Chains A and B, each alone.
Chain A
Amino acid sequence: MERAIGGIAAIKGQPDKEVLIQKLQNEVYALQRNKKVQSDITAVELGPIIHAFPKNIFPVGAIHEFISYEATHAAATTGFMMGLSAQLMQTQGNCLWVSTNRTLFPSALKHFGINASRIIFIDLTKPKDVLWAVEEALKCSSLSLVIGEVSDISFNDSRRLQLAVEKSNVTGLLHRFNPRMQNTLASVAKWKVMPVASSLAEELPGVGFSRWRVELLKVRNGKPDVWEVEWSKNSYQFITTQTIGQRISKRKIA
Chain B
Amino acid sequence: MQKRFVSIWFRHLLTDWFTRRRPELRDVPFVFAAPERGRMIIKAVNPVAAANGIHIGMVVADSRAILPEVQVFNSQQGKDITLLSALAEWCIRYTPIVAIDPPDGLILDVSGCAHLWGGERPYLRDMVTRLSAFGYQVRPGMADTVGCAWAIARFGRLKLIVDAGGQVEALQHLPPVALRLENGIAEKLEKLGLTEIGSFMNMPRAALRRRFGENLLLRLDQALGQGIEYVQPIKPIESYQERLPSLEPIKTAPGIEHALRTLMEKLCKRLSTEEKGLRKAVFKCYRIDGNIQAIDIGTARPSRNVAHLLKLFEIKICQIKPALGIELFVLEAPVVELLSSSQEAIWNFSYNREMEIAELLDRIAVKVGMNTIHRYLPDEHHWPERSYKLATSLQEEATTTWRDDLPRPVHLLPNPELIEVTVAMPDYPPMLFKYKGNLHRVQKADGPERIEQEWWIEQGLYRDYYCIEDDKGERYWLFRLGHYQHAEPKWFIHGFFA
Seen from chain A, the residues whose Cβ lies within 8 Å of a Cβ on chain B are 70-72, 74-76, 78-80, 82, 92, 94, 96, 103-111, 115-117, 119-124, 129, 132-133, 136-137, 140-143, 195-198, 205-208, 210-212, 231
Tell me whether B402 and A136 are in contact (CB under 8 A): no
Tell me whether B373 and A122 are in contact (CB under 8 A): yes
Tell me whether B403 and A197 are in contact (CB under 8 A): no
The 8 A CB mask of B386-416 against A (1 = contact, 0 = none) is 0110010010011001111001111111100
The 8 A CB mask of B338-370 against A (1 = contact, 0 = none) is 000000000000101110110111011001100
Tell me whether B375 and A119 are in contact (CB under 8 A): yes
Taking A78-B498, A136-B360, A136-B363 as contacts, is the C-beta distance between A195 and B375 under 8 angstroms? no
Which stretch, B49-57, B92-100, B187-195, B472-480, touches the partner chain A? B472-480
Tell me whether A116 and B402 are in contact (CB under 8 A): yes
Partner of B411, one of A105, A196, A205: A105
Taking A106-B388, A111-B404 as contacts, is the C-beta distance between A74 and B444 under 8 angstroms? no
Which residue on B lies nearest to A77, using beta carbons? B498
Residues of B within 8 A of A109 (CB): 402, 410
Residue with the highest number of chain A CB atoms closer than 10 Å, among B357, B403, B445, B446: B357
Which residue on B lies nearest to A105, using beta carbons? B412
Tell me whether A198 and B475 are in contact (CB under 8 A): yes
Which residue on A lies nearest to B350, using beta carbons? A92
Partner of A105, one of B360, B394, B409, B473: B409
Taking A122-B372, A122-B373, A207-B469 as contacts, is the C-beta distance between A72 and B350 under 8 angstroms? no
Q: Considering the complex, which residues of chain B in the window 442-461 have a beta carbon less than 8 Å from any beta carbon of chain A?
A: 443-446
For residue B378, CB closer than 8 A to chain A, the reply is yes
Taking A107-B402, A143-B357 as contacts, is the C-beta distance between A75 and B410 under 8 angstroms? yes
For residue B102, CB closer than 8 A to chain A, the reply is no
Tell me whether A94 and B357 are in contact (CB under 8 A): yes
Partner of B495, one of A94, A105, A208: A105
Cα separation A105 to B385 with both chains bound (whole Å):
9
Which residue on B lies nearest to A114, using beta carbons? B402
Residues of A within 8 A of B496 (CB): 71-72, 74-75
Tell me whether A140 and B360 are in contact (CB under 8 A): yes
Tell me whether B445 and A206 are in contact (CB under 8 A): yes
A110-B403, A116-B376, A210-B498 are known; give 15 further A-B pairs, CB within 8 A.
Answer: A71-B411, A75-B410, A76-B498, A92-B350, A106-B388, A116-B378, A117-B398, A122-B364, A122-B372, A129-B368, A142-B360, A143-B360, A195-B474, A207-B446, A207-B475
Seen from chain B, the residues whose Cβ lies within 8 Å of a Cβ on chain A are 350, 352-354, 356-357, 359-361, 363-364, 367-368, 372-378, 384, 387-388, 391, 394, 397-398, 401-404, 407-414, 443-446, 467-469, 471-476, 495-498
Cα separation A79 to B387 with both chains bound (whole Å):
19
Residues of A within 8 A of B411 (CB): 71, 74-75, 78, 103-105
Taking A116-B376, A207-B444, A210-B497 as contacts, is the C-beta distance between A103 and B364 under 8 angstroms? no
Tell me whether A117 and B375 are in contact (CB under 8 A): yes
Cα separation A119 to B357 with both chains bound (whole Å):
12
Residues of B within 8 A of A79 (CB): 410, 497-498
Which residue on B lies nearest to A72, using beta carbons? B474
Which residue on B lies nearest to A120, using beta carbons? B375
Partner of B357, one of A70, A115, A142, A211: A142
Which residue on B lies nearest to A108, using beta carbons? B408
Residues of B within 8 A of A120 (CB): 357, 361, 373-375, 394
Residues of A within 8 A of B352 (CB): 142
Cα separation A206 to B475 with both chains bound (whole Å):
12
Cα separation A125 to B498 with both chains bound (whole Å):
25
A-B contact count (CB 8 A): 161
A43 to chain B, nearest CB (A): 20
Tell me whether A195 and B475 are in contact (CB under 8 A): yes
Tell me whether B353 and A132 are in contact (CB under 8 A): no
Partner of B388, one of A111, A116, A122: A116
Residues of B within 8 A of A72 (CB): 474-476, 496
Residues of B within 8 A of A82 (CB): 410, 498
Residue with the highest number of chain B CB atoms closer than 10 Å, among A107, A119, A198, A212: A107
Cα separation A109 to B360 with both chains bound (whole Å):
24
List 8 A-B pairs, Cβ < 8 Å. A79-B498, A105-B495, A107-B402, A109-B402, A117-B375, A121-B373, A122-B364, A207-B446
Which residue on A lies nearest to B467, using beta carbons? A207
The 5 A-B pairs with the shortest beta carbon distances in the complex, nearest first, are: A79-B498, A75-B496, A197-B473, A105-B412, A110-B404
Cα separation A123 to B411 with both chains bound (whole Å):
15
Which residue on A lies nearest to B369, using beta carbons? A124
Tell me whether A94 and B498 are in contact (CB under 8 A): no
Partner of A196, one of B378, B407, B408, B473: B473
Partner of B384, one of A107, A110, A143, A196: A107
Tell me whether B376 and A133 are in contact (CB under 8 A): no
Tell me whether A105 and B408 are in contact (CB under 8 A): yes
Taking A195-B473, A211-B473 as contacts, is the C-beta distance between A75 and B372 under 8 angstroms? no
Which residue on B lies nearest to A129, using beta carbons? B368
Cα separation A105 to B281 with both chains bound (whole Å):
37
Which residue on B lies nearest to A113, using beta carbons? B404
Residues of B within 8 A of A197 (CB): 443-444, 469, 471-473
Cα separation A111 to B473 with both chains bound (whole Å):
19
Tell me whether B414 and A123 are in contact (CB under 8 A): no
Residues of A within 8 A of B387 (CB): 107
Cα separation A119 to B352 with both chains bound (whole Å):
18
Cα separation A181 to B270 with both chains bound (whole Å):
54
Residues of B within 8 A of A136 (CB): 360, 363-364
Tell me whether B374 and A123 are in contact (CB under 8 A): yes
Cα separation A142 to B354 with both chains bound (whole Å):
8
Residues of B within 8 A of A132 (CB): 367
Which residue on B lies nearest to A93, using beta carbons? B353
Cα separation A212 to B466 with both chains bound (whole Å):
21
